[in-house]
Structure 1
Amino acid sequence: MSTPAFSQPKLRRQPLSKEDINVINEYLNTLTPEEILRWAIENIPYLYQTTAFGLTGLVAIDMLSKITTSPPPLIFLDTLYHFPETYELVEAVKAHYGVPITVYKPEGCANVQEFESKYGERFWERDEGEYDYVVKVEPARRAYAELSVKAVITGRRASQGGARASLQPIEMDETGLVKVNPFFAWNFEFVDWYIKKNNVPHNKLLEQGYRSVGDWHSTMRSGEGDSGERAGRWAGREEKTECGLHEDYFNKIKVKTLS
């Protein structure tokens, strides 16, 4: 079978058209996560990995360390409200893999005190959407602009449900940023198996009843009977399934401006 044109060493153009994305996804749907990652490294320039050091992101880091001697640099969005265990994990990943990590924080805020001086205490309770934008979306957009990022590797999976249920290997957001989702078809059991088999460093909180770890104020231990992979995140808010980083904020801003 002939090799599709888009699997050559470089993509012919960016941003990608919808037709490009459909053709690429048709091909990538047949590949393993390792093969998707290898394809991305060989084909997509200015590729980074944005990670909050969740389990799937850690699997990607480990796989990349075995695929290439020059893995894509990591971008860590420090909301300033991560658990101490998350910050410990960041240092453990640095020591274990030796991969460069660039940290971005809310603009003009080096610590919680500066953030709360600017936005007040418990800002997430007053305007959760704006909080997500300030601590995740704006720092990410700033990182992508300053580092000339054209594409990012994510740890998202369709089995996580919500807005991710129809996830594909490749997508492009409203800014033209390409998102590579190599684990789109994996479920939690595959991720857990890989972490244990390869002794991948992971967040200690996952051994204390947490299933998904984000900011300390929006994360709690999973309760009995909780079945979702992101159980414990945004408890009591069924409509909330994303942290904000992967939502269409340009359209939201337009609606907010017109209302």
Structure 2
Amino acid sequence: MPSFASPVLQFDESQLEHINNKLNAMKPEQILDWASVTFSGLFQETAFGPSGNVITDILHAQNNSVPVIFVDTLHHFDETLDLAKRSQQKYGFKLHVYKPLGCETREDFVAKHGDQLWKTDDVVYDYSVKVEPARRAYEELQVQAVITGRRRSQKGDRAALRIVEIEKGTGLVKINPLASWSFQQVWSYLRANEVPYNALLDQGYKSVGDYHSTRPVNAGEDERAGRWEGSEKTECGLHKDYFAMRAAFLARKKKQDAAVSPSSSAQQVAPVA
């Protein structure tokens, strides 16, 4: 289990509320300026979705060289991986790519975890492809704060999103400069500023995740309706309670191990982080 530093910003809930009230009146550019002078260990964490692309463009316009963390689940669309390359070529940011532990390719992942793990055990899948690689990145890169593209208009768990959050138990600060924006504001910015975006957006997608659990959005549906259809999930794990995710992962792993006979080959899972 990784060691977590004390919170970088130490203040009570009323002080955090005061900061958020001040930042709510600011434009994304001003929020990003505030973040850049407040945190030395500041990173942008993105899967190159529309909001993340807007933030990357704003940071570039400010000559703000914030490094980028990309968690490659090994199950992204080819269009997403192509966008990651195009974005880095245009903006020149330092890109840190983290993949599931011990896996370099999708074939490696299947060999280690079996085929279609997202169907057989979505808890182990989410932990292995998102939570563990992200935590490894935070520890190795000494991350104090991450900039995310989450917005209230995406609804679900994000409806009450604040601009600044401090993750309980870890001290990780999450900054959401586009929290108050709508999808239309994001889309208008992308087009007006000729920002690289995922080609899947032109095919009806609005929120793009792994290829096996993402579909285009129909007229009148919420922006993230195309994610995890038929499931109650609204988040993949990156923005859930880390310790709850870890506990669920451990419980599933214990159950798997108990179900495997000595003569069988146990399905491997990533070591706990």
Q: TM-score, normalised on structure 1?
A: 0.90
After TM superposition, the structure 1 = structure 2 runs for residues 86-125 of structure 1, keeping only pairs within 5 Å, are: 86-125=80-119
Higher relative contact order (CA 8 A, sep 6+): 2
| Counterpart residue type for residue 244 of structure 2 | N
1:47 counterpart residue number: 42
2:76 counterpart SS class: coil
Report the equivalent of 2:270: none
> In the alignment, what sits opposite 2:211?
216
Change in 2 beyond 3 A, CA 1:163/1:146:
same
Q: Report what 1:30 is aligned to.
A: 25
Q: Deviations over 1:24-53 (max 9, x none)?
A: 112111101111011101112200000000
Partners of 1:16 and 1:45 lie apart in 2 by 18
Alignment of 1:84-233 (within 5 A): 84-174=78-168, 175-223=170-218, 225-233=219-227
Identity of aligned residues (%): 49
Q: State the distance in 2 between where 1:248 and 1:24 align.
A: 23
Are 1:241 and 2:231 an aligned pair? no
Alpha-carbon shift at residue 13 of structure 1 (Å): 5.0
Q: Which one-letter code corresponds to 2:74 in the other structure?
A: L
1:82 Cα deviation after fit: 0.4
Aligned length: 245
> CA 1:199–1:127 in 2, change beyond 3 Å: closer, same or farther?
same
Is the contact made by 1:59 and 1:200 (CA closer than 8 Å) also made in structure 2? yes
Letter in 2 for 1:134: S
In 2, Cα distance between the equivalents of 1:202 and 1:191?
11
C-alpha change, 1:55 and 1:245, in structure 2 (3 Å) is same
For residue 244 of structure 1, report the CA deviation from its aligned partner: 1.3
- The whole-number CA distance in structure 2 between the counterparts of 1:200 and 1:25 is 28
Q: Distance in 1 between matches of 2:62 and 2:20?
A: 21
Q: 1:8 maps to which residue?
A: none
Q: Residue 58 of structure 1 contacts residue 201 of structure 1 at CA under 8 Å; is this kept in 2?
A: yes
**1:213 is paired with a residue of what secondary structure?**
coil
| Cα distance between partner residues in 1 of 2:236 and 2:251 | 24
Name stretches of at least 5 consecutive residues in structure 1 with no aligned partner.
1-11
Cα displacement string for residues 75-115 of structure 1 (whole angstroms, at most 9, x for unaligned residues): 00000000111111011001111111110000110111111
Distance 1:79 1:133, change over 3 A: same
Gaps of 5+ in 2: 1-6, 253-273
Q: Counterpart amino acid of 1:247?
A: K
Cα distance in 1 for partners of 2:185, 2:217 equals: 20
CA contact (8 A) 1:76 1:102 kept: yes
The separation in 1 between residues aligned to 2:248 and 2:127, in whole angstroms, is: 15
Do the aligned partners of 1:80 and 1:111 also contact (CA within 8 Å) in 2?
yes
CA separation in 1, counterparts of 2:26 and 2:17? 15
Relative to structure 1, the CA distance from residue 47 to residue 256 in structure 2 (aligned partners, 3 Å threshold; closer, same or farther) is closer
**Are the equivalent residues in 2 in contact too, given 1:16–1:172 (CA < 8 A)?**
no
Give the 3-state SS of the residue equivalent to 1:202 in structure 2: coil
Q: Aligned in 2, Cα 1:15/1:78: closer, same or farther, shift over 3 Å? A: farther
> Corresponding residue for 1:5?
none
Describe the shift of the 1:142–1:24 C-alpha distance in structure 2 as closer, same or farther (beyond 3 A): same
TM-fit CA distance, 1:222: 2.1
Q: Alignment RMSD, CA only?
A: 1.8
SS at match of 2:43: strand
Q: Is the 8 A contact 2:127 2:245 kept in 1?
A: no
| Structure 1 residues 90 and 21, CA gap change in structure 2 (3 angstroms) | same
